Amino acid sequence: MKMTKRVSARKQKDMSKVKIILILSLFVLAWTGLWGRALYIQVIEGERLAGMADRQYYSREKITGKRGEIFDRNGVVLAQSVRSKSVYANPFLIEDREKTAQALSTALEKDYNRVSALLNEKRSFVWVSRKISDRLAHRVSEKDIPGVFIIDEHSRIYPQGHMLGQVLGFVGVDNEGLEGLEKSLDETLSGAEMIIVLQRDASGHKMTLMPQDPTAKVGGQDVTLTIDSEIQFAAEKFLAQAVKSYGGQHGISLVVHVPTGDILAWGAYPHFNPNNYRSSNSSIWRNRAAVDFIEPGSTLKPFLIAAAMEERIAKSDSLYFCENGTWRLGRNQIKDVREYGWLTLNRILRYSSNICTAKIGLDLGPAGYFRYLDALGFTTPTDLPLPGQARGILRPPHSWSKMDLATISFGQGVASTPLQLARAYLTLANEGRFTDLNIINDGRPNSGSGQQVFSPHVSRQVMSMLRDAVEMDGTGTRARISGLEVGGKTGTAQKASPKGGYGDKYVASFVGFIPADNPEYMIMVIVDEPEPQHYGGVVAAPVFAEIGRSILSSGSGLRLRALPVPDSETVVRNTQVDNGRFSVGQRRQSVTLGDQMPDLRGFSLRRAVESLLSEGVVPVLEGRGVIVNNQSPAPGEDWREGEVVLHLSES
């Protein structure tokens, strides 16, 4: 009996041992399994799983700084960036892609299939809709869809609408400049990029808050232009009226401050509104003044005259025979609009004789003429920061025939951009010193080369001829501004035909200066294919006068540079009397300034302002026009205290 008990106890002890070994084995196996699993997760699958966790709880967002704004010279905003909402999704966080696609397509008013395709992409970031309205953004926010997020971006807007549209250009959806100044100044205007990491909760909501606006450090630089919005408005308004009135294809107007080369206005028609660039085509947003060629026509003649005088081939009183309107050169025939006989150099430019201009060109020779055109910049683009500027078309002089030289002398057979032509006139107005155009108002002086193309004496003589072309019986009489002497040159250029030769289409142009002596402004007007009238003196010259009157009556010029102050206390205005052969200066009534307010009623704006500036008084101008109609204080009253106001009218 005892033996049996001992055997049973031993068996129980042996079974306990087995159980312990079994449990230990199972524990070892489980522990090994856990370590194996941990090894698998941490080492083998660690990188992949960490990436999945990152995508689930962290997101990396690219923050782009706010694009810099563009202002005119007076602080008027021309282009600015404003906050807008955009919707994106992380497809890995979306629970039901079909329902999410249906909800988003309804809220955003987008095609369901397109949204569904976006949500099925194997990426952690997809744009669903960018730069949407606040109304649509609110719809999406209300639905609180997991995996769908709304962030702030910047949209580019142009508060002045079509004003300066072709010059400003526009940006794409990623705020990258695509045209105009937006493109050429993109590096300056663009904000820097910053990658930030955001932690999210299980629902995908942001948990980490940035201590400050990350865009504050990375914003782009602002740019100030030389443009004056008030002058720009006038330049666009009167240009548009002329193009529509004469049925032209398009038009260009340019206003330049002569002493500095600053562009104050740059008009183009048809208008282009960069806010709606997607609905426009390239022919509308094309900046024709910078990239299109025109044959200058008669507007090139002043430079030939100046070159001939500089080379002492001709003088202002040199006589040329204009062949009574028709001249045969080889097998070709050159004609004038009117039949002229003998004309002096002054009258050749005043009446714009093609025949006599061709004869002067033949005397000057191809090499000499080319040298001056090259020095004036007709073979190089301007320094303006604009994309796609053209260089001009001017063949080497050794390839010119006699007929080539004759036609280039009166502006046919050569092509330039309107900007190149404007720069050449700017050089002439600055006493022959090469001066480039400028549109960036950075406080630095214009970096023109300063090369003396024409001597000051010759430049002043040619400028005097341009004054006679307007103020006497020349081709530019419709550019006159009452009460002020102006100067300028008309141009009527035939357009080349696609079939070869010249067709029946024309470019009408006028380039002029306000005032004629010591000019403050240069104004260029070009109208393409006007009908039925096509002469520059009829189509473009009146636009010059309208823009000029608007500038003078607005008082903008006094903010740029005070009008010249006479050396003495007597303000004298000289006029020209033409007896048919000589121009004789004649003195008009003088104004003596004393302690009492002089009677300036009936005076021209320029004359009245000069009188007051000589005493250190800058008047306030009210009304529109260039003639003083009334004044305050009244004549005879003390004028040294308080404000002096001049009331203006057109006549």
Give the count of beta carbons closer than 10 Å to the beta carbon of residue 64. 20
Contact (CB, 8 A) for 383 and 262: no
Q: How many distinct helices (H) and strands (E) make up the chain? A: 22, 25
Q: Which residues have a Cβ under 8 Å from the Cβ of 386 and sit 6 or more positions away?
A: 167, 180, 181, 184, 287, 290
Give the count of beta carbons closer than 10 Å to the beta carbon of residue 127. 11
Task: Enter the tokens of residue 377.
Answer: 């910049």
Of 257, 292, 290, 285, the residue nearest 269 (C-alpha): 285
d(CA 429, CA 459) in angstroms, rounded, equals 7
d(CA 113, CA 615) in angstroms, rounded, equals 77
d(CA 265, CA 553) in angstroms, rounded, equals 16
DSSP β-bridge partners for residue 490:
510
Contacts 24+ apart (CB under 8 A), 338-346: 343/319, 344/316, 344/317, 344/318, 344/319, 344/581, 345/305, 345/308, 345/309, 345/314, 345/315, 345/316, 345/317, 345/318, 345/320, 345/465, 346/316, 346/317, 346/465, 346/468, 346/583
d(CA 142, CA 484) in angstroms, rounded, equals 66
d(CA 414, CA 419) in angstroms, rounded, equals 15
> What are φ and ψ of residue 105, in 5° steps?
-65, -35
Contact (CB, 8 A) for 469 and 475: yes
Could you tell me where the DSSP H helices lie in 197-259?
229-245
* C-alpha dihedral, 558 to 563 to 567 to 573, nearest 10°: -130
Ordered strands of the 262-269 beta sheet: 262-269, 250-257, 521-528, 502-514, 487-496
Q: Which residues have a Cβ under 8 Å from the Cβ of 650 and sit 6 or more positions away?
A: 482, 549, 624, 625, 626, 627
Residue 161: which region, alpha, beta or left (left: phi > 0; alpha: psi -120 to 50)? left
- 3-state SS, residue 110: coil
Residue 291: which region, alpha, beta or left (left: phi > 0; alpha: psi -120 to 50)? alpha
d(CA 308, CA 314) in angstroms, rounded, equals 6
d(CA 616, CA 624) in angstroms, rounded, equals 24
Contact (CB, 8 A) for 251 and 418: no
- Residue positions annotated with a catalytic role: 298
Of 522, 535, 538, 531, the residue nearest 493 (C-alpha): 535
Sign of CA dihedral 156, 238, 231, 535: positive
d(CA 617, CA 642) in angstroms, rounded, equals 10
Q: Is the bond preceding 259 in cis, omega lying within 30 degrees of 0?
A: no
Any idea which residue has 């070892």 for tokens?
A: 28
